Structure 1
Amino acid sequence: MKKFIAFLFLSTIGYSQNDYPKDFISPLNIPLDVSGSFGELRSNHFHSGLDLKTQKKEGLDVLAVADGYISRIKISSFGYGKAIYITHPNGYTTVYGHLQKGNGLIEDYIKKKQYEKKSFEIELFPTPSELPVKQGDVIALSGNSGGSGGPHLHFEFRETKSEKIVNPLQFGYNKLAVDNHNPELYGIMAFPIDSTVVNKSQLPIPISFSKQADGTYKASKVIANGKVGFAINANDKCTNPYNKNGLYKVNAYLNGVLYFQYEFDKFAFDESRYINNFIDYFTYKSKGQRFQKLFFETSYPLSVIKNNKNNGIINTQPKASYTLRVEMFDFQGHQVNILIPIEYGTSEVAIKKEVNTSPYFLKSKIENNYSKENISVFIPENTFYDDFRLNFDVKDNVLYLHNDKVPAHKNFTITYSNVEGLSEEQLKKTFIASVDGVKLDYNKTTRKGNSLSARVRELGVFKLAQDTIAPRIYNVNFVEGKNIIKQNTISVSISDNMSGIDTYNAYLNGEWILMEYDYKTSKLVHQLADGKYKEGRNDFKIIVTDDLQNSTTFESYFFMNP
């Protein structure tokens, strides 16, 4: 396997508190160009590694960054797509995601297991002696598999024992992916807490600001008569001026005293969904903007938050004035400051907060149960971050459960009990749907007798719906009865209108064949190089089933004549 000896410099930067090893090489044979940073704010999660551009194409060599062994291989239609995990003897594991395919013996190993299990999607845990690698070995080719939005390599570090994710820049990659850009500020918001009025508003309100000659951002004066919190909409650019990446660290000082801090060095996977409490979720759902809060009202276990006083909430007092200095950093050490002057003051309320008078008060730290007619909702403890009045109602068998602008951290259960008026066959095809305007979204639904239950993680409107339509199979890339000896693949497109594709199985002359599924293109592809065809006539069959077991079968034949 090809070697690439591009060892990283053994330098550290001032922000790193841990002596991480620096003897790893680049995972690519091209200059590193970062499109996604560690800790970057994503939908329902913090980004867990670096996204490295691959020059808008697939098929680049992906290298083992150090000696070790391939300890895990996961092939999935979603998430990281085709991913390889290498365990190293120094206590760390590296992850390489969105691959096109493994290289050489590694790809042979993967395909053998896929054919043994008769499944494209597999998860494997090779022993240390099965797939050892040396630093610089080509382990795979870069790709665009899984949930990737374009060709790139997802690259991350984990502590092998704890499986906590560590910022790859800590291992010296800041010397190969050089950041020459300062963090940038796009917005400031002030949040009145409890009955406080801020700048004549009882609701969160934008604060205007201007950029000074020295690069500092100065906000207009904030007048508050009690407790107030702040949030910023900001990001950083790393190796290029186009991709908006996340900040590495933020320090907030109140009158010179460190009051709130967060720093993206490492975190655990089970912390990642706390992003929905880290940002102002209401603004994100309403406007698509992610404001990073410099406070919280209820404590939650997000380890990147450190050194906070009074949960970051500023309690303004009569005749007092304050300055909140917010320092934004990238990993390279570039610093940009924000100055927010704050004064105690009273004023008329121009923007009033709407008071929710719902009788259903949800206490976030305990279990909550709600029911009306034959519909019930069970909400486990700590499903929501804060206590609030929940809008709950049932009309014409439709459940109205608050709105999707309050984030749920865990699944809660909706149950329709003793469903009447449906035949056995109809019940088999019935599910609890989320209602989005005129669109219905499928939720996986379990059945016990005549009762249906779904575990969901978003508030909103729900109703019973049915999926009786089988998946489609179309765009077959060969003509029945034709000789396709010059083709490299057999492919079809598949789709489902409601519950989604559950299984797909293809057969050539009665023998199961591997077809790789890419949900982004809706295509299933079989590589004829797998050698499963025979000379002469070949009979092809594919069966596709959706989640409610509606099934479609397509059969055809072709010839393979030299």
Structure 2
Amino acid sequence: MKLIGLFLCFCTLVFGQNQYPKDYFRSPLDIPLQLSGNFGELRPNHFHSGFDFKTQQKEGLAVYAAADGYVSRIKIAVNGYGKAIYITHPNGYTTVYGHLQSGVGAVEKRIKAEQYQAKSYEIDVYLPANELQVQKGDVIALSGNTGGSDGPHLHFEIRDTASEKIINPMFFGFDSVITDSKRPMLSNLIVYPLGKNTVVNQSQRPVAVAISQQDDGSYIADKVLVNGTVGFGITAFDYDDVSWNGNGIYKVQTFKNGKLDFQYQFDTFSFDETRYVNALIDYGRYKKTGQRVQKLFAEKPYPLSIIQHGTQNGVLEIASNITQNYKIEIADYSQNITRVFIPIEYSPMTVKVTEEPVTAKYWVKADKESVFALENVTVTIPPKAFLKDFKMDFEVKNGIAYLHDDVEPAFANLTITFEDSLTTESERQRMFIGTVDGKKTYYNYTKRYKNSFTTYTKYLGTYKLFKDSMPPKIKSDKRIGGQWISQQKELRFTVSDDLSGIKTWEGYLNGQWILLEYEPKTKKLVHHFDDGIVVEGKNDLKIVITDNVGNSTIFETQFFRSQKL
């Protein structure tokens, strides 16, 4: 008991957190817990908001209510968390269970009822406290791979019910089952010249610094020779004792001559600020190489609550006759710490590698609105969309708008408008603005007014006005037309669209709407006969698939089925 008390006191002093209940929530799975993703892990355009629990590379494992409460929300979507269930608990927290295969019992019955009432696979329903109550340990769902999931797993998170802020599940006792005695691993150390005339190791470009691991697990960097202002960045991972893959780090602190400076740690954050992951990392480097370097400085502070910026936002100014001892501490939740010692010395060196030349013509001023127009394309950038001023490429050629490379992160929507006077009114009804990425085209939601097409986006890149006149395709995975299919438990179809993508799908059996579950990753539409719509003998089936610009395909057939087998 003394040890527990001391530990709780230590948590309060170090993390400045509330005393979260350690034994209130049980595991949502009944298998040994292993993480494929942890809290705060760096993901595309967001920080990971919970734990991803491995499910032994399969679907269909029982998912348990972590504590007493009631199902307060059911959200079914083709992206994001896929099939997700939210349980609100009387202690002020809400647990979330995502990427589910299905609900179980009363939960699944309610999901189906809501879908049939809405005549939609995708629903987002909020429930009152007295309707669907659950007890700790009740099986509420089966694990799956729905939504934006790359493989079978359970997404689990804990939120403060009132504020909806997401909280690191480790605070609630999960550190006792996901043990971690391993230090985080450092793979890269980068130093960034930040001043106009700054030189680092004879370079005006970012430089990788060699590091040597010591017997005690710490790292010593080669001496960094600097003239001007610099900042540092790291690539690091953490490994626990029960999972074999690397996950995100929990806490980073930097020290200048022994004094604490820039720091951040993943305790809690809100969904409103999660896109600032693109400010924390070297976004341009990530888009070019796929490597996420976490910057330990901010040229301009940005509203990310996990960060404490220090007196100079993590920026170091190295002047004549000044030697800096710079230290980085990288920690996991269990307080295993990796230390990096970096000697920094002033040196008025000559430049061998000059800064990368900028050939762009257009200035984007971060604090002002910018409007650029060429030929039939207008781009409007609102104030504060970008964190810094930069020179932007903009060119329109052969109907394609080249709007810089996607190497500067945007935090507000840019407006892109194409004017078109060469097509007919009927053709314009099937047109949209698409993003061109190599040989791939991605649909952007497009508003049209007469011959003007507008989309809103947070990405620089290449855009083009496309015309999509081809309807979607649908094919039954098994031959059903005129067949007796009494042994089948479901109808399964493969659907696809070559350009704008599928927007809606509707199915009817004998004139009655039926639920078709859509999984974009596998391009499958599935109807389960246990929904109870199929009738004895002959059944007339009709499915209508519509793409994002209104092209439709109608699939019709008849099949026979006996319910008496």
Class of the TM-score when normalised by the shorter of the 2 chains: over 0.9
Q: 1:537 and 2:505 equivalent?
A: no
State whether residues 258 and 307 of structure 1, in contact with CA within 8 Å, keep that contact through their aligned partners in structure 2: no
User: What SS does the aligned partner of 1:282 have?
Assistant: helix
**Letter in structure 2 aligned against 1:457:** K
> CA offset at residue 309 of structure 1?
2.3
Shift of 1:533: 0.9
Q: Structure 2: how far apart are the matches of 1:363 and 1:161? A: 38
| TM-score w.r.t. length of structure 2 | 0.95
Aligned match of 1:59: 60
> Counterpart of 1:282?
284
Q: CA deviation at 1:336?
A: 0.8
Correspondence 1:558 to 2:559: yes
- Structure 2 CA distance, aligned partners of 1:354 and 1:210? 29
Secondary structure of 2:313 counterpart: helix
Which residue in 2 is equivalent to 1:3?
none
3-state SS in 2 of match to 1:408:
coil
Instruction: Provide structure 1 residue ranges, at least 5 long, that are not aligned to the other structure.
Output: 1-8
Which runs of structure 2 are paired with 1:367-516 in the superposition (5 Å)?
367-417=369-419, 419-516=420-517
Q: Deviations over 1:379-430 (max 9, x none)?
A: 112111211112223234332211111111222111113x111011111112
Matched residue, 2:226: 224
Residue 182 of structure 2 aligns with which residue?
A: 181
Task: Map Cα deviations across residues 19-47 of structure 1 (whole Å, 9 max, x no partner).
Answer: 01122111111121111100000111100
Describe the superposition over 1:337-381 as per-residue Cα deviations: whole angstroms up to 9, x where unpaired: 011111111212111113425442211122211112331111112
Contact 1:478 1:490 in 2 (8 A): no
Match of 1:269 in 2: 271
Unaligned runs of 5+ in 2: none
Question: Hey, what's the Cα distance between the residues in 1 that align with 2:473 and 2:376?
Answer: 35
CA displacement at 1:477 relative to structure 2: 2.5
**Deviation for aligned residue 1:181:** 2.2
Other-structure match for 2:18: 18
Please tell me the residue identity of whatever aligns with 1:271.
E
Q: Secondary structure at the match of 1:369?
A: strand
Q: Does the alignment pair 1:141 with 2:121?
A: no
- Match runs of 1:266-345 below 5 Å: 266-345=268-347
The residue that corresponds to 1:27 in the other structure is 28
Matches of residues 201-220 of structure 1 in structure 2 within 5 Å?
Answer: 201-220=203-222
Contact 1:403 1:459 in 2 (8 A): yes
Aligned AA (1:103)? V
Residue 82 (structure 2) aligns with: 81
Query: Aligned partner of 2:559: which letter?
Result: F
Kept in 2, the 8 Å contact 1:75–1:83? The answer is yes
Is the CA contact (8 Å cut-off) linking 2:35 and 2:243 kept in structure 1? no
State the secondary structure of the residue aligned to 1:84: strand
CA contact (8 A) 1:325 1:339 kept: yes
Residue 365 of structure 1 aligns to a residue whose secondary structure is coil
Q: Find the aligned partners of 1:438 and 1:540 in 2 and give their Cα distance.
A: 36
Q: Does the 8 A contact of 2:144 with 2:154 survive in 1?
A: yes
Secondary structure of the structure 2 residue equivalent to 1:231: strand
AA aligned to 2:115 is Q
Summarize deviations over 1:257-277 as a string: whole Å, max 9, x none.
Answer: 011100100001011110011
CA contact (8 A) 2:415 2:456 kept: yes
What secondary structure, in the 3-state scheme, does the structure 1 residue paired with 2:99 have?
strand
Q: Displacement of 1:503 after TM fit?
A: 0.3
Letter in 2 for 1:169: M
AA of the residue aligned to 1:520:
K
Residue 6 of structure 1 is matched in structure 2 by none
TM-score between both structures, scaled by the size of structure 1 = 0.96
Counterpart of 2:35, as a letter, is V
Which secondary structure state, in structure 2, belongs to the residue aligned with residue 435 of structure 1? Answer: strand
Tell me the CA shift for residue 183 of structure 1. 0.3
Per-residue CA distance 1:173-222 (angstroms, 9 max, x = gap): 11121123220000000000122011111111111111011111111111
Contact 1:34 1:239 in 2 (8 A): no
Tell me if structure 1 keeps the 8 A contact 2:36–2:243. no
Identical amino acids, percent of aligned pairs = 49
Task: Give the distance between the partners of 1:362 and 1:344, measured in 2 at CA.
Answer: 33
Per the TM alignment, residue 442 of structure 1 is displaced from its structure 2 partner at its CA by 2.1
After TM superposition, the structure 1 stretch with the greater mean CA deviation from structure 2, 362-371 or 331-340, is 362-371
CA distance in 2, matches of 1:342, 1:220: 9
The letter of the residue matching 1:284 is: Y
Deviations 1:43-97 (A, max 9, x none): 1110000011111121222111111111101001111011011111111111011
In the alignment, is the contact (CA less than 8 A) between 2:297 and 2:309 conserved in 1?
no
Matches within 5 A, 1:35-46: 35-46=36-47
CA contact (8 A) 2:501 2:547 kept: yes
Query: How large is the Cα RMSD of the aligned pairs?
Result: 1.5
1:461-502: CA deviation from partner (whole Å, max 9, x where unpaired): 222221111111014323311111111111101011111110
CA contact (8 A) 2:78 2:122 kept: yes
> Alpha-carbon deviation of 1:288?
0.7
What is the rounded CA distance, in whole Å, between the counterparts of 2:100 and 2:356 in structure 1?
50
Q: How far 1:241 moved relative to its partner?
A: 5.1
Equivalent-residue separation in structure 2 for 1:287 and 1:122 (angstroms):
38
Deviation at 1:240, TM superposition (A): 3.6
Say which SS state the counterpart of residue 113 (structure 1) adopts.
helix
Q: Any idea what the Cα deviations from partners look like across 1:112-170, whole Å, max 9, x if unmatched?
A: 11111110100111110001111111111111111111111101011111111100101
Partner in structure 2 of residue 130 of structure 1 = 131
Aligned 8 A contact 2:80 2:148 in 1: yes
Paired AA for residue 472 in structure 2:
P
Instruction: In structure 2, give the amino acid aligned to 1:469.
Output: M
| Number of residue-to-residue matches in the alignment | 553
The offset of 1:436, in angstroms, is 2.2
Q: Once structures 1 and 2 are overlaid, which stretch shifts more, 96-105 or 373-382?
A: 373-382
Equivalent residue for 1:4? none
Could you tell me whether the CA contact under 8 Å between 1:33 and 1:239 is conserved in 2? no
Paired letter, 1:536: G
Residues 301, 309 of structure 2: 8 Å contact kept: no
- Residue 311 of structure 2 aligns with an amino acid whose one-letter code is K
Contact 2:510 2:540 in 1 (8 A): yes
CA separation of 1:336/1:525 partners in 2, compared to 1, >3 Å: closer, same or farther?
Answer: same
More displaced 10-residue stretch of structure 1: 496-505 or 382-391: 382-391
